[in-house]
Amino acid sequence: MKIVTTVKRVTDPDMKVKIKPDGTGIVTDGVEYRMNYFDEYGVEEAIRLKQEHGGEIVVVSVGADASTKEIRTALAMGADRGILVETDEELDSDAVARVLAEVIKEEAPDIVLMGKQSVDTDRNQAGQMLAAYLGYPQATFAFELKVADGWATVGREVDGGTSTKRVKLPAIVTADLRLNEPRYASLPGIIKAKRKKIDRKTPGDLGVDTANRVNVLQYEAPETRAAGQIVESVDELIEKLRTEAKAL
Amino acid sequence: MGNVLVVAELQAGVVRKVTLDTIAFARQAVDVIGGQVHVLVLGDGVDAQAAEIAAGHGADVVHAGNGAAFANYIAENFTPAVVQAAEAVDAEIVCAPSSMFGKDLMPCVAAKLGAGMVSDATEVFDDGGVRFKRPLWSGNVITTLEVTTPRKVATVRTTEFEAISGYADASVQAFTADVGARDDAEFVSFDQVKSDRPELTDAAVVIAGGRGLGSGENFDMLMTLADQLGGAVGASRAAVDSGYAPNDWQIGQTGKVVAPNLYIAVAISGAIQHLAGMKGSKTIVAINKDGDAPIFEVADYGLVADAFTAVPELTEKLKSLGIGS
Ligand SMILES: Cc1cc2nc3c(=O)[nH]c(=O)nc-3n(C[C@H](O)[C@H](O)[C@H](O)COP(=O)(O)OP(=O)(O)OC[C@H]3O[C@@H](n4cnc5c(N)ncnc54)[C@H](O)[C@@H]3O)c2cc1C
């Protein structure tokens, strides 16, 4: 079974993002980066699928040169080889999906595992767009995945409960947080990863015009809430909710 | 071009309120781009739902698309129908609620229409062209966006829009989509978490519990309080991960976004990913035994107390004061 899994380098969500005073972007000086959390679940699931079915895991990232760090992390977890499609531009999800579509056409995997969204841009688009561009079926927000007889049966987190969908391979599956527990890279894994191959390409090599369809004109901070107060008792809470907040 | 197409969301055949909120967004959009608000309802036998949506909620035309391929939602069968409808009504903006349904479907629609897409739109306005606002970075950044394609796709952060009532009724038309069911994707089941409480995203009061509650049984006291106030019960991710609450209750960056009149966070620390889902609530109450918990930074009223005494006491006192049911 051939598996492609995707990783994105994102700002560490535990750090506070700062917006440039002129509103043209976020401050990147001194910012720490990591692999997008949801992608870790995708990589982990790829490793589990390989353990069960054998095969190869190719990890793909679209981003700046530094994204090789996140590719190495995935290789250290257990992926076999990497592909970086290098660009310094801030691509919209559509451009990322069109780039990935070309990589997938070349690699022809049985399944593509992705995170359901990235924790920086929060768009939740790339996997579904990729499915549409490739004409593959999709199963998003997966909390359970079983592969047998050329089909994937996927438990999905949806509003109002859960749902189960079956998709014929090749398919796109996007991971939710309850899919598995991502492993940490082991020391031998990290050492091995250093010798694993990372191919480099550019969107141009793949024939993709990455002109964005969505442009960000301005970044700003959300309105902050006025400071609240500490109440001393349940009685005071009820009193304030009734008379001050008029919430009861 | 003008015109907005809203893709209606039904859940187990019932019109979700987020659909009506999205129509309110669509009205804001036609104020900017002109044209009419069209709504597409897809399903197998949805004439009644189309009529319900047409009844004064701000739509101009409701299209009822009946077909066996739409009996249960899957993106593979809905996408071509939405694309055909968008072209048929010449929609400049095609939108759906930013629910799991809209998030799953609309990127496919955007790709097939060759349209740029905005997720979680909170505002649409004119500034020398159509502009959208949306939150990102777990709600810590707001961006203003321009979509450069003639058609534009959006999912709508429905907590920012209030469903309209009393508008002129829309006309209802049949919509015939030329869509055969795909043979590479199958809906198997929808396992609904049944509840008599209001839906989380619609409730005026939300009582949310965190990992600090320690067990699923301990959520019972939140349910009693919620029932007293006619509210819904939600949870932090850690509570869901620990199996105390169903996934459908998760509030936050990667769960539901709620903005009730009153939000009571019980034994929730207030991680940024949680705040992303409830910061827009009108009044926020935090009950936590740790006075340094970050939730107190966003709470209007903080009570530093053990949940196991404070919550039952709150419920009892509300009861004896005759507040709520
Ligand atoms: C990619 C990603 C996405 C995420 N998405 C979400 C999301 O959508 N929603 C979300 O909620 N989280 C999300 N998280 C998780 C988030 O970072 C926190 O881990 C989570 O919100 C913590 O949940 P909690 O507050 O219930 O638990 P904890 O942080 O463990 O807090 C428990 C609290 O309970 C209090 N407590 C304990 N006992 C009592 C008692 N008897 N009485 C009163 N108080 C008590 C403690 O003082 C503590 O403050 C996400 C994380 C990541 C990495």
Q: Which residue has the higher pLDDT, B1 or A37?
A: A37
Using the beta-carbon criterion (under 8 Å), do B137 and A157 form an inter-chain contact?
no
User: Which superfamily does CATH assign the domain made up of B3-174 to?
Assistant: HUPs (3.40.50.620)
pLDDT at B1: 74
List A residues 158-177 in contact with B (Cβ-Cβ < 8 A).
Answer: 158-168, 171, 176-177
Q: Which of B160, B256, B162 is nearest to B206 (CA)?
A: B256
Q: How many CB atoms lie within 10 A of CB B70?
A: 22
Q: Residue B195 — pLDDT band, cuts 50, 70, 90?
A: confident
Ligand 1, residue B209: give the atom nearest the CA.
26
Q: Would you say B144 and B133 are in contact if contact means Cβ atoms under 8 Å apart?
A: yes
For residue range B151-169, list pLDDT tens digits in order: 999 999 999 999 999 999 9
How many CB contacts within 8 angstroms connect chain A with chain B?
Answer: 257
Ligand 1 site, CB within 6 A: A 37, 119; B 210-212, 236-239, 250-255, 267-269, 271, 273-274, 277, 288-290, 293, 306-308
* Helix residue ranges, H only, chain A: 37-53, 68-77, 93-107, 126-134, 187-195, 234-243
pLDDT band of residue B226 (cuts 50, 70, 90) is: very high
CB–CB contact B300 A228 (8 Å): yes
Q: What pLDDT is recorded for position A208?
A: 98
Residue of B183, B189, B187 whose CA lies nearest to B74: B187
Alpha-carbon gap: B186 to the closest alpha carbon of chain A (Å): 5
**CA B243, B248, B251 angle in degrees (round to 5)?**
90
pLDDT score of B252 more than 90:
yes
| Token pair belonging to B273 | 């990913």
Give CATH 3.40.50.1220 domain extents, chain B.
205-320
| pLDDT interval class at B174 (50, 70, 90) | very high
Predicted confidence at residue A226, as pLDDT, reads 85
At residue B251, the pLDDT reads 98
CB contact under 8 A, A94 and B110: yes
User: A162: pLDDT confidence band, cut at 50, 70 and 90?
Assistant: very high
**Mind listing the pLDDT tens digit for each residue in B276-302?**
999 999 999 999 999 999 999 999 999
List A residues 44-103 in contact with B (Cβ-Cβ < 8 A). Answer: 92-94, 97
Residues ≥6 apart with Cβ < 8 Å to A161: B190, B191, B192, B193, B246, B248
**What is the C-alpha to C-alpha distance for residues A168 and A152, in angstroms, rounded to an integer?**
6
Contact: B296, A230; criterion CB under 8 Å: yes
Say if residues A217 and B277 touch (Cβ distance below 8 Å).
no
**Distances, alpha carbon A141 to alpha carbons A158, A163, B70, B108, B217, in Å:** 8, 10, 21, 15, 27
Chain A residue with the nearest C-alpha to that of B11: A160
Nearest-atom index, ligand 1, CA of A13: 53
Closest among B233, B240, B237, B279 to B257, alpha carbons compared: B279
Nearest residue of A to residue B241, measured between CA atoms: A178
Label residue B106 by pLDDT band (50, 70, 90).
very high
Q: How many Å apart are CA B295 and CA B276, to the nearest integer?
A: 12
Q: What are phi and psi of B198, to 5 degrees?
A: -65, 160
Q: Do residues B283 and A240 touch, judged by C-beta distance below 8 A? A: no
pLDDT in the model for residue B258: 97
The ipTM (two decimal places) reads 0.97
Please compute the mean of the pLDDT values over residues B205-234 and round it to a whole number: 98
Residue B325 has a pLDDT of 80
Check residue B212 and report its DSSP letter. Answer: G
Angle between helices B307-321 and A234-243 (to 10 degrees): 50
Q: What percentage of chain B reaches a pLDDT higher than 90?
A: 96
Mean pLDDT of the A29-40 span:
96
Q: How many angstroms separate the CA atoms of B59 and B46, rounded?
A: 16
**How far is residue B230's CA from residue B204's CA, in Å, rounded to a whole number?**
8
Ligand 1, pocket-test mutation among B138, B221, B274, B314, most atoms within 8 A of CB: B274
- Determine the residue of B264, B268, B272, B279 to mutate for testing ligand 1's pocket, defined as the one with the most ligand atoms within 8 A of the Cβ atom: B268
Domain with CATH 3.40.50.620 in chain B: 3-174
Rounded Cα gap, residues B319 and B65, in angstroms = 48
Q: Determine how β-strand B14-15 pairs with β-strand B10-11.
A: antiparallel
Query: What ranges do the domains of chain A cover?
Result: 2-243
Four-way CATH pick for B205-320: 3.40.50.300, 3.40.50.1220, 3.40.630.10, 3.40.50.1820: 3.40.50.1220
Contact: A94, B323; criterion CB under 8 Å: no
Residue pair A102/A208 in contact (Cβ under 8 Å)? The answer is yes
- Is the N-terminal amide bond of A170 cis, ω within 30° of 0? yes
* Chain A residue nearest residue B245, CA to CA: A161
Ligand 1 atom 49 nearest Cα: B269
pLDDT digits (tens, 9 = 90+) for B23-63: 999 999 999 999 999 999 999 999 999 999 999 999 999 99
CB nearest to A237's CB, from B108, B240, B301: B301
User: A137-159: b or e for each residue (b if 16 or more CB lie within 10 Å)?
Assistant: bbbbbbbbbebeeebbbbbbbbb
Instruction: Kindly report the backbone phi and psi dihedral angles of residue B42, in degrees, each rounded to the nearest multiple of 5, phi listed first.
Output: -110, 140
The CATH number that domain A2-243 falls under is 3.40.50.620
